Amino acid sequence: VKIEILNTGSELLLGRVLNTHQQWLCRQLADLGYVVGRQVAVPDTALDIVTTVKEALNRSDLVIATGGLGPTSDDRTRDLVAEMLGRKLSLDPSIVEKICGYFEKRRRPLPPGTEIQAMVPEGAVVLANDFGTAPGLAIQVEAGRFRAAASWLIMLPGPPRELRPMFTSRVIPLLRQEFPLNDEFVCRTLKTTGIGESWAEEKIAGPLRHLTDAGLELGYCARPGEVDVRFVATGPAGRHQVEEAEGVVRGLIGSHIYGTDDDQLEQVVVQLLSKQRKTVAFAESCTGGFIANRLTNVSGASEVFLAGLVTYSNEAKEKFLGVQASTLTTHGAVSEPTAREMAQGAREHTGADFALSVTGIAGPTGGTAEKPVGTVFIGLATPEGTRVKKMSNAFDRETFKYVTSQQALEMLRQALLPPGT
């Protein structure tokens, strides 16, 4: 299947918005076995949109266009496409009703321009929008109009929180129906943390050689604080190859694998805590509440998360966590004993089963020879006792926070694993 993605939006070309649709859609499609052959971004000008849609329809079986379906004057994709394809637009009253319901539910007045979003080109399939107003549209362009064969043009709304669920629930079924894949395609990602990609490769590449020689594709993707190990296989033996590879890798580096595919570490931690009916609290210094932020992004966090204390100053560490003044003067705020007392203090003050603490030097200033920038102590207080780890995370401040939060959450995850795993 020849697939092309067309992202519209002047903001993308002005560098105001990162084109995340390109990455997200390519990834979703690739995981299903559809590989995108070309991607173009264009500004919201009529000529650009029409020219690129035409070009794309000339050479591709499937064109996915994003953005420009909203109610404002720069949202022109629907109109331009209808005109270009010679399809009349007509008002779909059921869409109007749905949009009215959307605003009623949120107790907001109906904004102007609603009806534009309910205009549907002749013959188009309406892709309902469960998280916004403008529906998506799918049009089969007849054979002979641009090229000998027919093709599909799918238009999706710009906001990621609307586009993503619409793609998953409405576009994928359409793709499976219109472009069935003959070859079975299996893709599996193992999400690891606490090991580097070279180290992972060193451990697993040899033992997987018989499978990669037989056609299994093995890939690594390193990001701050984690490494994905990805298997892709096609053909009748594909599923078996991927399962076998997963078994081999779990046997070798299983303790570092926190999840699969789209799992996130914070989700896994919330699940483990909730399954074991345990609670957690955080005492954060250099991460500024970032660990609490990540955990509270997970639905169900309230069952397991009691409190997060952002104790940035020494006084706050003493006052809210009971860290000893003498500990701070003797060892410093960034030290093993301080991290230990922070974790213990958070556990005692909140009554949580587990408490994580972090204290470190994010930089770029504040480092010393003994404690260079990036030094961080992570404490974990559990019913069995308290442990502290020292890490060196010399990155920019934002990456520092992310990597440190990842290490802290991983320390907690390890403590929650049943013994012997």
Alpha-carbon dihedral of residues 166, 168, 169, 172, nearest 10 degrees? 110
Nearer to ligand ATP, 19 or 296 (CB): 19
Bridge partners, 227 (sequence order): 192, 222
Nearer to ligand ATP, 171 or 373 (CB): 171
Determine the 3-state secondary structure of 33 from DSSP: coil
Residues that bind ligand ATP (CB under 6 A): 7, 9, 11-12, 17, 19-21, 66-70, 72, 75, 134, 157-160
How far lies 242's CA from each of 38, 208, 238, 245, 247, in Å?
28, 10, 6, 5, 9
Residue from 9, 33, 70, 345 touching Mg ion (CB under 5 A): that is 70
CB of 117 to ligand ATP, least distance (A): 7
Q: How far is CA 335 from the centre of its chain?
A: 33
Nearer to ligand ATP, 11 or 92 (CB): 11
CB of 147 to Mg ion, least distance (A): 30
Is 157 among the residues that bind Mg ion (CB under 5 A)? no
Is 75 among the residues that bind Mg ion (CB under 5 A)? yes
Nearest one of 66, 67, 68, 63 to 85, comparing CA atoms: 63
CB of 318 to ligand ATP, least distance (A): 45
CB of 18 to ligand ATP, least distance (A): 6
CB of 157 to ligand ATP, least distance (A): 4
Nearer to ligand ATP, 98 or 317 (CB): 98
Nearer to ligand ATP, 66 or 405 (CB): 66
- The span of 4-12, 75-83, 119-127, 196-204 binding Mg ion (CB under 5 A) equals 75-83
- The span of 22-30, 63-71, 221-229, 354-362 binding Mg ion (CB under 5 A) equals 63-71
Task: 79-84: list long-range contacts, CB under 8 Å, 24+ apart.
Answer: 79/119, 80/46, 80/49, 80/50, 80/53, 81/49, 81/53, 81/121, 81/139, 81/153, 81/155, 82/119, 82/121, 82/122, 84/50, 84/53, 84/54
Token duo for residue 115: 């009806």
Determine the 3-state secondary structure of 75 from DSSP: coil
Phi and psi torsions of 315, nearest 5° = -60, -45
Q: How far is CA 137 from the centre of its chain?
A: 25
Q: How far is 84 from 89, CA to CA, in rounded Å?
A: 12
User: Which residue has 């040899």 as its token pair?
Assistant: 206
Q: How far is 180 from 172, CA to CA, in rounded Å?
A: 11
Is 363 among the residues that bind Mg ion (CB under 5 A)? no
CB of 91 to ligand ATP, least distance (A): 17
Q: How long, in residues, is the chain? A: 421
Phi and psi torsions of 71, nearest 5° = -90, -5
CB of 22 to ligand ATP, least distance (A): 6
Nearer to ligand ATP, 157 or 225 (CB): 157
Nearer to Mg ion, 72 or 330 (CB): 72
Is 360 among the residues that bind Mg ion (CB under 5 A)? no
CB of 164 to ligand ATP, least distance (A): 10
Identify what 291 binds: ligand ATP, Mg ion, none; CB under 5 to 8 Å per kind: none
Identify what 21 binds: ligand ATP, Mg ion, none; CB under 5 to 8 Å per kind: ligand ATP
Nearer to Mg ion, 44 or 284 (CB): 44
Q: Catalog residues that contact Mg ion under the rule CB under 5 A.
A: 70, 75
